[in-house]
Structure 1
Amino acid sequence: MITYISTEHPVVEWIDTKYFKNFTLLSKRISREDPKYYVEVYVHTLFKLDNNLKPSFYFYQFLTNRYRPSFVEMHFSFCEMMNSDTFFGETMRNAIPGRKCPFPPGEYDLKNMSIPYVPRGFPFAKGRIYCNVSFADGGVTKHIGRGSIDMEIKVAKLRKRTRKGNL
């Protein structure tokens, strides 16, 4: 049995084309044996990814057929998240191994990402994660992107693949 966070129905609501040439967010299953959905990000940035980039994550609980704000929020500077966060940062580090922050402008393909663990005592089982991205440009902080993805904590029994004749 495994407990995991399933992430489905990703939406890039808006990006500022002054900062991004492209930003694609996908969710997919890799195999029938693995119940998890994996997130993939394909992004072409027009700016250096450093601590001027500030992602903020807001967790909304699905309650009485609506997504309602919860008290769970995470706010980062990009390199801080990449270098030391064990939730989103670890996922991204695994997708681009050997790379250190800051990152130059360019194309980045982050594949097969999943949240590495379910935090003990997480307060709800179903919800949506909203992400707002801002950038400090010349002393002025600008909102440069927004998106969301649905999440659900699930438990699954892993099936073992066997070949005919094997036990």
Structure 2
Amino acid sequence: MTTENATGDASRLYQSVLAHIQHGLWNDIRNAHTLAWMVTGLVLSGRSSIPAWLSYIHSRATFAQSSERRVRGWLENPASDCGSIYGPLITRALRDWGSQTLILALDTSVLFEKFCLIRVSVLFRRRAVPLVSRVLEHPSAQVSTTHLLPVLAEVKGLLDFAGIHQVRLLAD
């Protein structure tokens, strides 16, 4: 791919991403623009490294360091509420799911030999997109139904709200 095509792809992808996120709860619309460029850089570079995104981020900044500082500032902003951004996005995706069977995966992971992460994710195009998660102070990946039932109840509530009834749940 030539640089010219990458630039064109970046602008088109940026516009598509922005259309989905600009209606969120933003205290300043520039935050939505920064996030849209970050997602564009992540997708087109295929890497989770901020410097790899910089060639895809369009900006008036003359130095890459300025664009990187802008991205890092957005990520480190304590006023950023991921739930208010991610919640409406995943809800919208679920509402537009259609009649196709939704495949969910229930998974547990141990963190630092002290915590257990319970996660239910949507499986889509060989990716797991988190839907609901909980962290417990529990040193094992095996958890009782007492801990699983509230997570599954929240998933059911989301699916009922989205009108999804065809579901396949995968779990160990």
Shorter chain as denominator, the TM-score bin is: under 0.3
The structure where helix makes up a greater share of residues is 2
Give the TM-score of the pair, scaled to structure 1.
0.21
Q: Kindly name which structure, 1 or 2, has the bigger radius of gyration based on alpha carbons.
A: 2
Structure with greater strand percent: 1
